């Protein structure tokens, strides 16, 4: 009884395996690495589909994959930002494994041109355009830019250039060199200044008495 039960299990597993694998088709280990065609960098987490049985798998973060397939299977590789790549396993493979290097091409998507305007609607643009003050010709624009008000405003806001700063420093140094031997006196210590000041006070009192 024990041997009969073992024989039945063996026949059952053999039948199931025969249903999964068609007659004359052998299994092999299909492995490889997925890289970019231009930079040779690995492409991680690529979706791998076997068109024969619609089985899907995924490569790891290093672009490596390995799974069981059959000779003649069509394998489709797809990833975001890359065009789909198709690899067909040769029908005649001598060993029980097949290794390949899958090259995927970057997909370039040309987006439509986008124009950004400062107006939300055409009505706002029309309103601003009609109220905009535009000079009649280039002569009016030149007169406006060279007016005293415009020049004073630019003089207050614009920073001084290197030539102007150099000229100011040269004049200051010239004045210092001319006046280096001159000593400025204090008017509070000048007796003549005090005498003149006293005379002005007395003259002022006489003027008030005459009035």
* Contact predicate 77/48, CB 8 Å: yes
What is the CATH number that goes with domain 2-104?
2.60.40.1120
Question: What values do phi and psi take at 129, rounded to 5?
Answer: -70, -40
- Which pLDDT score, from 0 to 100, does residue 90 have? 92
Cβ atoms of residues 29 and 66 within 8 Å: yes
Please tell me the predicted confidence (pLDDT) of residue 104: 95
What is the predicted pLDDT for the residue at 151?
85
> What's the CA gap between 13 and 20, in Å, rounded?
11
Query: How much of the chain, in percent, has pLDDT values that exceed 70?
Result: 81
- Sequence-ordered list of residues with C-beta below 8 angstroms from that of 102, at least 6 positions apart, any chain: 32, 33, 34, 35, 77, 85, 87
Domain parsing of the chain, residue ranges: 2-104, 111-180
Joined tokens for residue 69: 């397939």
Question: Tens digits of per-residue pLDDT, 37-94?
Answer: 988 899 999 999 999 888 999 999 999 999 999 999 999 999 998 999 999 999 888 8
| Partner residues linked to 78 by β-bridges | 47
Backbone angles phi, psi at 127, to 5 degrees: -65, -45
- Encoded tokens for 190: 């000048």
pTM over cut 0.85:
no
> Sorting pLDDT into bands at 50, 70 and 90, what band is 3?
very low
């Amino acid at each position: 009884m024990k041997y009969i039960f073992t024989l039945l299990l063996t026949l059952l597993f053999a039948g199931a395996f025969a249903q999964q694998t068609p007659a004359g088709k052998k299994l092999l280990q299909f492995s490889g690495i997925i890289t970019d065609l231009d930079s040779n960098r690995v492409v991680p987490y690529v979706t791998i589909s076997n068109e024969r049985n619609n089985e899907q798998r995924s490569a790891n973060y290093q672009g490596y994959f390995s799974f069981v397939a059959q000779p003649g299977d069509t394998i489709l590789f797809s990833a975001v930002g890359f065009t789909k790549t198709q690899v067909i396993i040769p029908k005649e493979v001598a060993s029980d494994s097949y290794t390949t290097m899958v090259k995927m091409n970057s997909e370039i998507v040309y987006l439509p041109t986008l124009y950004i305007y400062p107006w939300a609607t055409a009505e706002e643009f029309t309103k601003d355009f009609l109220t905009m003050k535009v000079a009649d010709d280039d002569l009016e624009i030149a007169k406006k830019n060279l007016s005293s008000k415009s020049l004073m405003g630019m003089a207050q806001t614009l920073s001084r250039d290197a030539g102007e700063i150099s000229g100011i420093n040269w004049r200051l140094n010239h004045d210092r060199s001319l006046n280096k031997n001159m000593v400025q006196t204090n008017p509070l210590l000048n007796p003549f200044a005090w005498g003149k000041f006293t005379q002005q006070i007395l003259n002022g009192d006489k003027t008030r008495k005459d009035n």
